[in-house]
Structure 1
Amino acid sequence: MDGEPPDMVLFEPLTPTSYLDRAAASHGDRLAVVDGNDRWTYAELHGRCTRLAGALATLGGTAPVAVLAPNTHVILEAHFAVPWSGRSLVTINTRLSADEVVYILDHCGASVLVYDPSYAELIDSAVAKLTHPLLTIRADDRYEELIASGSPLRTTPGNESPLLSINYTSGTTGRPKGVMYHHRGAYLQALAMVGHMGLSPRTVHLWTLPMFHCHGWCFPWAVTAAAGTHVCLPRMDAAEVWRLIRHEGVTHLNGAPTVLSMLAHAKDAGAGIGDGPRVRVATGGAPPSPALLRRMDQLGFDVTHLYGLTETYGPAMICDWRPEWDSLDHDEQSKVKARQGVGNMISHRVRVIGADGADIVADGIEVGEIALRGNNVMLGYLNDPEATAAAAPDGWFRTGDLGVIHPDGYVEIRDRRKDIIISGGENISSIEIEQAIADHPAVRDVAVIAIPDERWGEVPAGFVTLHGGRHVSERDIIEHVKSRLASFKAPKTVRFGDLPKTSTGKIQKFLLRRSAESRVDTAV
């Protein structure tokens, strides 16, 4: 109609790379990145990313660009430069084997790989097995020369749904799936993280969560959107984390409960934050135990529990704190904080559904499967339409996690579907047992799985790591659980030692099951 403004006035496609444009324009002189002795302002970061984009655009056609690097400026820059080059980004888990890296590179068809020099041997081995050509760029002087040679480029999508990136699942039950993200989802998810975690120009965010994992829950874009400071951490080391918290004035960090446990029980923890501001922490994965939450609070950390999957850009749910909970005692607050909560501000309402596909009763007792949908759910699995269709058979993504809904609408996970222990016809939550064991003062880490039992079908088995210098018996742990839970829920056996973990700190229960099965086979 005459007099209507052109569409460009009303609509601009959403893309997370626009957050760096805004930060450079509004906070260009402020500190953007701290990486060891290197420091860059937002204007400098913007310049580096646009030049890297220009250089990448001249290399390897239009196939994805893969990055294998720890939490350094290299992988942070890739989150802006690769999309600006007109390519999709693939961040690779740094703890994978050469064969696993080969599978990912072949599956996504990457034509360029940027890698940290510390992984040179791994890359040499992988490249020798590849079935297609790959240009490798070592992140050293050659990388800096590449940036210096590039002409600034900012390719932006014509709409919001093109492929932004491909994130690979852990693949613990088979080949990893390539989860496809779009620009709109990443933009909105980052915005949700800004709001829920209170990010601002005062934010100093320490990278304790790997950026290769769900793009660090979209925090590379979220911290940039807030014009906060990124503090890089190439290797998770509790002493270094404590040093950076105190030296750089860290205000925010993220990680699995095992990361929190490392910080809480490190010798460098001392009296905690001291006179500095309290640190806001987002944690995902297994629910943190009330005991761990109490310890983190004493040290000066405000912990928020999040829940999500690779398929949901990281945290799709948050335990959104209610002011009326401030009056609860510490034990009750810890229990509430361990809930997974409600959908984040850009998510659709979370459902918990029964076997018939209908919503369960919100009574905190009936158990169903958590189902999600919304702007922060994946485009689908790369080259796997069957798995994509199976994941969301009715337009709701099935998470595989079982939980309850409390009367206030907050969801609490009871277990992964594969982790529920069915003993004598009774469903037992491994999480419930883990939290009871974790409340023992000698316990540092714990995992509970099902093991076969001739009488009951299967029974709980505990795997425990103790704090250094502490000693406790199997019987002590079992009786400790019985003092808190029904006797049939107590583990029948308890084994002590280090627990196998992923690079993001999640305990690998499938390896514990494999170990338990091998012991049974040996006994037979």
Structure 2
Amino acid sequence: MEGIYHCPANYVPLSPISFLERAATVYGDKVSIVYGSNVRFSWKDTFDRCVKVASALVQLKICPGDIVVAFAPNVPALYELHFGVPMAGAVISALNTRLDASTLALALEQLEAKLIFVDYQFTDVVLKALDLLSQKKVNPPHLVVIPECDKSSSMDRKHIASDLDYNCLLEMGRDDFRIIRPNNECDPISVNYTSGSTGKPKGVVYSHRAAYLNSLAEIFRFDMRQMPVFLWTVDMFRCNGWCLTWAMAALGGTNICLRNVSADIIFDAVSLHKVTHFCGPPAILNTIANAPARASSQSPFPCSVNVVVAGSLPNSEILTKVEGLGFNVYHGYGMTEALGPATIRPWKPESDSTFEIEQEEIRRREGLHNLLLEGVDVKDPKTMESVPNDGKTIGEVMFRGNILMSGYLKSTEITQETLKGGWFHTGDLGVRHPNGYLQMKDRAKDIIISGGEAISTLEVEAVLLSHPKVSEAAVVGQPDALLNEVPCAFVKLKEGFGASAEEIIEFCGDQLPDLMIPRIIVFGELPVNFSGKVQKFAMRETVNANTSLANC
């Protein structure tokens, strides 16, 4: 069209770096970070510190596109690195602090990291990983130790072969450093690793553009428009804290950083800092519900507290108790490739009120068809046609939009397969109901086909978890000569409780069709990976290796 002219005046590459620059100007004196009883930073402080981090990285010969790794809990330094590293033109990869040395070494080798920031509590595992790299003749990254925020690090570093700690790095930095912005908004800003719940973890690459847009999307999804106070109970190494690291700067809110999470810490922080939001896995709801009376007696809280969890929800008893303590529970669905939860809807107990039912329907539709996610659908993966909205026909859940990954690091073929047909294939199965509500059924790899019928392991697990004596449960298919597969349940009982397999099976029989009732109950610990996620592939291997498995 004649007259159109694109130039720096009307096009600036999108990057969440700009959120911090704005925060320093608009919210300069407002508190940005609280850590412990002594550490407080303003948004101006945070901006200045991040600029110095970026300046120091450039002095250390970190170039645009280089990967810088962080291995730390939710301390202020890790928050600052989410801005400081991209400001140097580099790419941040915050890794799971539960990784063992061999897995960490494999990740560092794939990332070809030039520098690794490690919290002083995790130096041992990092040094072992670096030694493993050296043994393989792979150049290990240089190491920078992060001391406790308000303490000197000289004692922490005395046995570590590192010339730098985080405080020294800040002193190196210049406050007049010119921020290096992306030339292309599709340039990478971070690499996050999948949990590996279905196999080998993959490095997922996020772009500046996707991180920027998803940060804005989170503000709407989490209803965070009024300068929130965010309690960091979700790990920043999980999808860059679900992109809330950057979203909080856009809002000028307050980050309450935590080294550890417990019921007491949550209740104390809510009361002391007037926390408005926190997030995490569903286990955090169990932590709250099982809090001792001393902690929970601090309710009612001084403000409304929204809790967003992603994963399989605990039983309704836990949810009702958590809501009764003053928390508003929201349920998210997403994955690393979607930069965290892609859909979020409130959990509410059943209501007889026509008005409340209508409001719930609207909230469900908002959760599915949210801003900045162009498409959420259930499709036949072969024909790519949408399944009918009948609540019965199973298809694969798919996404499309600007807030998805750029691809898997060094895995072009897998990336193209996952994004084929112009949609992101989640690998999850679901149905669409007449009202448009999407109901998850299972992972494609986990669903059980028994006698020609599809059995959702999630639905069977939900019933098992509602048993008053069951703490954890997971279901996989067991080979069967007649039906192809039958459900086999792995169950962990609550401490101090005992139950027989017959009791569990009878309980399921009262609530499930015959085909969905587990035939075998295996008691004990569930196999989990370093993220704490159940490894169903390991359970299937156990079942397949023991075809004569009996109740035990």
Task: Verify same fold: TM over 0.5.
Answer: yes
Give the aligned residue type for 1:285: G
Rounded Cα–Cα distance in structure 2 between residues aligned with 1:357 and 1:289: 34
1:118 aligns with 2:121: yes
The 1:339/1:494 distance shift into structure 2, 3 A limit, reads farther
1:405-430, Cα deviation, whole Å (9 max, x unpaired): 12222211100001101222221101
Query: Partner letter of residue 145 of structure 1?
Result: C
Does residue 230 (structure 1) correspond to residue 230 (structure 2)? The answer is no
Shift of 1:188: 0.7
2:374 is aligned with 1:348: yes
The equivalent residue for 1:303 is: 329
**Aligned-pair CA distance for 1:331:** 12
Q: CA deviation at 1:85?
A: 0.8
SS at 1:475's partner residue?
helix
Aligned pair partner of 2:111 in 98, 108, 113: 108
1:134-145 map, 5 Å:
134-140=141-147, 141=153, 142-145=165-168
Is structure 2 residue 132 aligned with structure 1 residue 132?
Answer: no
CA offset digits 1:15-63 (Å, max 9, x no partner)? 1121111111111111111122322111111111110111011224322
Residue 96 of structure 2 aligns to a residue in which SS? coil
- The letter for the 1-side match of 2:515 is F
CA shift, 1:103, in A, is 1.2
Give the AA of the match of 2:208: H
Work out whether residues 421 and 430 of structure 1, in 8 Å CA contact, stay in contact via their aligned partners in 2: yes
> Structure 1: where are the runs of 5+ without partners?
none
In the alignment, the residues of structure 1 paired with residue 354 and residue 297 of structure 2 have an alpha-carbon distance, to the nearest angstrom, of: 24
Query: Does 2:479 align with 1:476?
Result: no
Shift of the 73–66 alpha-carbon distance from structure 1 to 2, 3 Å rule, reads same
TM-superposed CA distance for 1:210, in Å, is 0.9
Shift of 1:452: 2.6
Post-superposition CA distance 1:324-364 (Å, at most 9, x none): 97937999999999999514311012111114221100121
Length, aligned pairs only: 522
Deviations 1:168-204 (A, max 9, x none): 2223444322211101100110111111212145411
The answer (yes or no) to whether the contact 1:339–1:412 under 8 Å persists in 2 is no
Counterpart of 1:73 (choices 70, 76, 80) is 76
Give the aligned partner of residue 446 of structure 2: 419
Give the alignment's TM-score, normalised by structure 2. 0.87
How much has 1:514 moved relative to structure 2?
A: 3.8
| CA-to-aligned-CA distance 1:198-250 (integer Å, 9 cap, x gap) | 21454111111111011111010112211111111223323322332233222
Deviation at 1:454, TM superposition (A): 3.9
Query: Following TM superposition, by how much is the alpha carbon of 1:76 offset from its aligned partner in structure 2, in angstroms?
Result: 0.8
Which secondary structure state, in structure 2, belongs to the residue aligned with residue 10 of structure 1? coil
Mapping of 1:76-475 within 5 angstroms? Answer: 76-130=79-133, 131-140=138-147, 141=153, 142-152=165-175, 153=177, 154-267=179-292, 270-271=296-297, 273-319=299-345, 327=353, 341-354=367-380, 355-475=382-502
8 Å contact kept, 2:195–2:533? no
Counterpart residue number, 2:31: 31
> How far apart, in 2, do the equivalents of 1:339 and 1:271 lie?
36
Matching residue's letter, 2:374: H
Task: Give yes or no for contact 1:340–1:410 (8 Å, CA) kept in 2.
Answer: no
How far did 1:438 drift? 2.0
1:20 lines up with 2:20 in the alignment:
yes
* CA-CA distance at 1:503 after TM superposition: 5.4
Task: Name the TM-score, length of structure 1 as normaliser.
Answer: 0.92
> What do the CA deviations read for 1:474-498 (whole angstroms, capped 9, x no partner)?
2232222222221221112223344
Taking a change above 3 Å as real, the CA distance of residues 250 and 415 of structure 1, as seen in their structure-2 partners, is same
- CA contact under 8 A between 1:340 and 1:412: conserved in structure 2? no
Shift of 1:146: 0.7
Question: 1:455 Cα shift?
Answer: 3.7
- Partners of 1:441 and 1:58 lie apart in 2 by 59
The structure-2 alpha-carbon separation of the partners of 1:226 and 1:500, relative to structure 1 and needing over 3 Å to count, comes to farther
Tell me how large the CA RMSD over aligned residues is: 3.0
Code of the residue aligned with 2:109 in structure 1: it is D
Deviations 1:102-132 (A, max 9, x none): 1111111110100111111111111112212
Tell me, in whole angstroms, the C-alpha distance in 2 between the residues paired with 1:326 and 1:257. 27
Give me the whole-angstrom Cα distance separating, in 2, the residues matched to 1:521 and 1:82.
54
C-alpha contact 2:117 2:146 (8 A) present in aligned 1: yes
Q: Which amino acid aligns with 2:429?
A: L
Give how far 1:293 is off: 2.6
Residue aligning to 2:56 = 55
Task: Give the deviation of 1:93 after TM superposition.
Answer: 1.1
- Cα shift readout 1:381-435 (whole Å, capped 9, x = no counterpart): 1211111111112111111000011222221110000110122222110111111
- In 1, Cα distance between the equivalents of 2:356 and 2:491? 25
Q: Is the 8 A contact 2:115 2:142 kept in 1?
A: yes
Inter-CA distance 281–47: structure 2 relative to 1 (3 Å threshold): same
